[in-house]
Structure 1
Amino acid sequence: MPSSIPVLTIDGPSGSGKGTVSRLVAQALGWHYLDSGALYRAVGLAAAWEQIDLSDAEAVAACAARTRIRFDGDGEGEPKVWVNGKDATHQLRMETAGAAASAIAAHSQVRSALTELQRSFRRLPGLVADGRDMGTVIFPDAPYKVFLTASAEERARRRHKQLKEKGVSVNFDSLLHEIAARDERDASRAVAPLKPADDALFLDSTGRSIGEVVQQVLAIVPASLRRP
């Protein structure tokens, strides 16, 4: 049954807009939504709470296995994320959480611990999954795949604006450096490196509106599978 449930994967680097695009596409289709990055951020945050060394793969994997993660949302906007009973939504959107997620994602043990959890989100009528290896590793059989990217400068500008709107003070140059460093780390890691699936639609969102990108993504899903 699960393999017959349609999945649309949207992979790409940090700041490419894949989270916003994925949520809007899921709403338009009437499908479930998986923010895989939030799972890694949640485990990184839980490990930090336990003062675990993020380079200790076994300890972080054990933390991943016992961490309780829950998403709360009504389908509109960004869902709340609860980690071990605490509302961690705000903390998970900080750059430190993103850096921690990238660090622990390099551990094969951690990825294995989270693989089945991610696949469990595949439920009728369908799933939109965003991340970095959704189309290459987690759902390689997904019939619809997108790789969404943008220039590092564009992604840094978007992230800077987003953080300022949330009242977070951040330096643009530092943000650009962090994004470039994360790109390099994610693309060069030995386990599940960030790369487009061979059968993915490649979209560059630089200079394009969210609405334009959403329409391009929706166009690859047959009308028969969309919300009436």
Structure 2
Amino acid sequence: MTGPFTIAIDGPAAAGKGTISKAVAAALGLGHLDTGLLYRAVGVKTLDGLAPVDAAQALTSEDLQRDDLRGPEAAQAASKVAVIAEVRAALVDFQRAFARRAGGAVLDGRDIGTVICPQAEVKLFVTASAEVRAKRRFLELSATGQADTLEEVLADVKARDDRDMNRAEAPLKPAPDAVVIDTSDLSIEQAVAQAIALIETRQQQP
């Protein structure tokens, strides 16, 4: 593949979209952008004291390499800055340019198929029940020694869902032509295989 071919993968936190996106990009030899990292990086910069819009406008590739982008504080900060229209606008051009790079690209986030790349050749919406996603996130946090209870993690997941799905600017929802993959009862391998099969079918269509 030499020309642009965009795969948009959206979904809520801990549904598996990041894992699936990385695996799909590796299997098909495509570029990959975790757009959530952009918002996490902006969120972390606000924790450092910058105003959200200033943080977004000043974002650099080095900011995406910070070690503190994967923690719960970064996740909450990202969800908060993501509701700000000016922040989203500042990050749109970067995402769209990446999406149309030669050789194809996979982007995962919350508004890729609906706002960033509505003309993407493939749109997937990866989801799972809140309970399943909370358990996954709880196990991740436990492995790093963080002390949140499962109940606290579930409450956090539900609060983030509510904020993401009900924000005025680019709410989290499947694009009308997106294929939904529910990973609640799927292994990672099954979910990745399902995604690749859908993408390859689309690639073969005229």
Question: Same fold per TM (> 0.5)?
Answer: yes
TM-score interval for Structure 1 and Structure 2 normalised by the shorter chain:
over 0.9
- Which of residues 171, 175, 192 in structure 1 aligns to 2:153? 175
Matches within 5 A, 1:1-228: 5-49=4-48, 51-52=49-50, 59-70=51-62, 81-82=64-65, 88-89=66-67, 91-122=68-99, 123-222=101-200
SS for the counterpart of 1:174 is helix
Deviation at 1:224, TM superposition (A): 9.7
Structure 1 vs Structure 2 CA RMSD: 1.9
| Structure holding more helix per residue | 2
Which digits, 9 at most, give the CA deviation of each residue in 1:128-151, with x for residues without a partner?
110000000001100101001001
Which AA in structure 2 matches 1:9? A
| Identity level (%) | 43
Which digits, 9 at most, give the CA deviation of each residue in 1:80-111, with x for residues without a partner?
x42xxxxx23x111111111111111010000
Which AA in structure 2 matches 1:117? F
> Using the alignment, how far apart are the partners of 1:38 and 1:64 within structure 2?
12
State whether residues 144 and 221 of structure 1, in contact with CA within 8 Å, keep that contact through their aligned partners in structure 2.
Answer: yes
Deviation at 1:223, TM superposition (A): 6.9
> Using the alignment, how far apart are the partners of 1:11 and 1:41 within structure 2?
16
Which AA in structure 1 matches 2:130? A
SS for the counterpart of 1:118 is helix
SS for the counterpart of 1:147 is strand
State whether residues 122 and 202 of structure 2, in contact with CA within 8 Å, keep that contact through their aligned partners in structure 1.
Answer: no
SS for the counterpart of 1:222 is helix
Which AA in structure 1 matches 2:196? L
> Using the alignment, how far apart are the partners of 2:7 and 2:52 within structure 1?
29
> How many pairs were matched up?
202
Which AA in structure 2 matches 1:97? A
> Using the alignment, how far apart are the partners of 2:52 and 2:78 within structure 1?
11
State whether residues 96 and 117 of structure 2, in contact with CA within 8 Å, keep that contact through their aligned partners in structure 1.
Answer: yes
> Using the alignment, how far apart are the partners of 2:21 and 2:153 within structure 1?
23
The 1:6–1:186 alpha-carbon spacing in structure 2 relative to 1, beyond 3 Å, is same
Which AA in structure 2 matches 1:62? D
Which AA in structure 1 matches 2:83? A
Q: Which runs of 5+ in 2 are unaligned?
A: none
TM-score, normalised relative to structure 1: 0.84
> Using the alignment, how far apart are the partners of 1:168 and 1:23 within structure 2?
25
State whether residues 29 and 225 of structure 1, in contact with CA within 8 Å, keep that contact through their aligned partners in structure 2.
Answer: no
Q: Which runs of 5+ in 1 are unaligned?
A: 53-58, 72-80, 83-87
